[in-house]
Amino acid sequence: MRPRNVTVLAYDGVRLMDVTAPLEVFGTAARMGGAYTLKLCSPTGAPVTTSAGTRLLVDAAATEIDGTHTLVVPGSVDFPQHAPPLPLLDAVTALAATSERIASVCTGAFLLARAGLLDGRRAVTHWRHAATLARRHPGVTVEPDAIFVRDGTVYTSAGVTAGIDLALALVESDEGADLAREVARDLVVFLRRPGGQSQFSVPSRARAAADDPLRPVLDAIATDPAADHSLPVLARLGGFSPRHLTRLFHERVGSTPAVYVEAVRIEAAQSLLAAGATVTAAATHSGLGSDESLRRAFLRRLGVTPSTYRSRFRSTTQPADATSTTPRRVSAPDPRPPE
């Protein structure tokens, strides 16, 4: 098979892991038999200094690259505050013109948007900068917290480690699930978080202050997702009428109580499946009920079936009672997600 040329664009101020993580995925795939060749380029062909202070040597200038299959555009901490320099934009435009598909990592989406490559497309970036991207580029439909998004031949991903998820997804698309799984195993990472999975947990997004009237309701849902969280029960718990509770959820959470409860239950089911629970046990102990209800919810929210999710995420060391353990709490104490 003719090798697929993967070109990663580096530049001064680029985030080091945005560059190295996709290179490691594609490089590992190549060592395992995948049809990939790798090149690291910069706008002028000169070495670059990353945001970590590390100097990177490159293979070529952007103008010397021809016939790229996959172009990877990493991010920089500067892009949400400052416009990228024109030589860098010119390099992106030139490389994109000869690439079969284009992928950005983290704030690399700002570069693609500034070059006009995201106009009329869906895209994602680091959760911290999603609103800025949407405001600065109204022609782009920004997904607020997906792991990665594909729109045609253009792929965008969230912060840092999401570049690994995206690269694994591209390897799986090119070479099949077996090779992608071997790469993930070699790198000791999951294969793979579905692109539509949230960048951070549902309860952490809806954290309420101690004096917030919704705090008891949100805590009850997060503490025991499988309990009865019907609208009348939640309303009584919070001391509201059902109508007032629904209004508060719309104002403070951005969804109805039922939609929020389902999201927390899906996250609880994910946790159970990752720990080795059966699909039936995950459905029961997350509060989603039946296998079919769990399947429909996963397909709607994550785009994969529970069985597929379990095979990709199951822990290699499963607790003995993994099939019957009810998660004590879904949310992490840290209100901000890791990158």
Are 256 and 228 in a shared domain? Answer: yes
Share of the chain above pLDDT 90, in %: 58
Are 172 and 30 in a shared domain? Answer: yes
pLDDT value, residue 331: 32
Rounded CA separation 39/62 (Å): 10
Are 141 and 10 in a shared domain? Answer: yes
Rounded CA separation 324/283 (Å): 11
Rounded CA separation 147/162 (Å): 6
Exposure string for 271-284, b = 16+ CB within 10 A, e = fewer:
bbbbbbbbbebbbb
- Tally of structural domains, the chain: 2
Closest to 137 (Cα-Cα) out of 80, 97, 96: 80
> With left for phi above 0 and alpha for psi between -120 and 50, is residue 106 left, alpha or beta?
left
Of 21-25, 153-157, 218-222, which gets the smallest average pLDDT? 218-222
Of 146-150, 231-235, 284-288, which gets the smallest average pLDDT? 146-150
Are 207 and 182 in a shared domain? Answer: no
Going along 74-184, which residue ranges are E strands? 99-104, 122-123, 141-142, 148-151, 154-157
* Average pLDDT over the chain, rounded to an integer: 85
**Tokens 């995201």 identify what position?**
118
Of 160, 187, 214, which one is at a domain's C-terminal end?
187
Q: How many helices (H) and strands (E) does the chain have?
A: 14, 11
pLDDT at 323 over 50: no
Q: What tens digit of pLDDT does each residue of 167-217 get?
A: 999 999 999 988 988 998 888 775 545 555 555 445 544 555 556 888 889
pLDDT value, residue 228: 93
Residue 96 in contact with residue 117, Cβ under 8 Å? Answer: yes
pLDDT at 69 over 70: yes
Are 141 and 180 in a shared domain? Answer: yes
Of 130, 152, 187, which one is at a domain's C-terminal end?
187
Are 41 and 79 in a shared domain? Answer: yes
Q: What is the mean pLDDT of residues 315-337?
A: 34
Are 211 and 296 in a shared domain? Answer: yes
Higher pLDDT, 339 or 232: 232
Q: Go through the chain and tell me how many residues it has.
A: 339
Rounded CA separation 201/223 (Å): 14
Are 16 and 160 in a shared domain? Answer: yes
239, part of any domain: yes
Q: Which domain holds residue 305?
A: 202-313
Q: What is the mean pLDDT of residues 46-63?
A: 97
C-alpha separations of 79 from 26, 88, 127, 167 in Å: 26, 12, 14, 22
300, part of any domain: yes
Are 235 and 179 in a shared domain? Answer: no
pLDDT value, residue 203: 52
Residue 122 in contact with residue 151, Cβ under 8 Å? Answer: yes
Q: What tens digit of pLDDT does each residue of 77-102 get?
A: 999 999 999 999 999 999 999 999 99
pLDDT value, residue 146: 79
Are 165 and 231 in a shared domain? Answer: no
CB count within 10 Å of CB 111 equals 25
What CATH number is associated with residue 256? 1.10.10.60
Are 158 and 213 in a shared domain? Answer: no
Are 121 and 223 in a shared domain? Answer: no
What CATH number is associated with residue 69? 3.40.50.880
- Rounded to two decimals, the pTM is 0.64
Closest to 12 (Cα-Cα) out of 60, 64, 56: 56
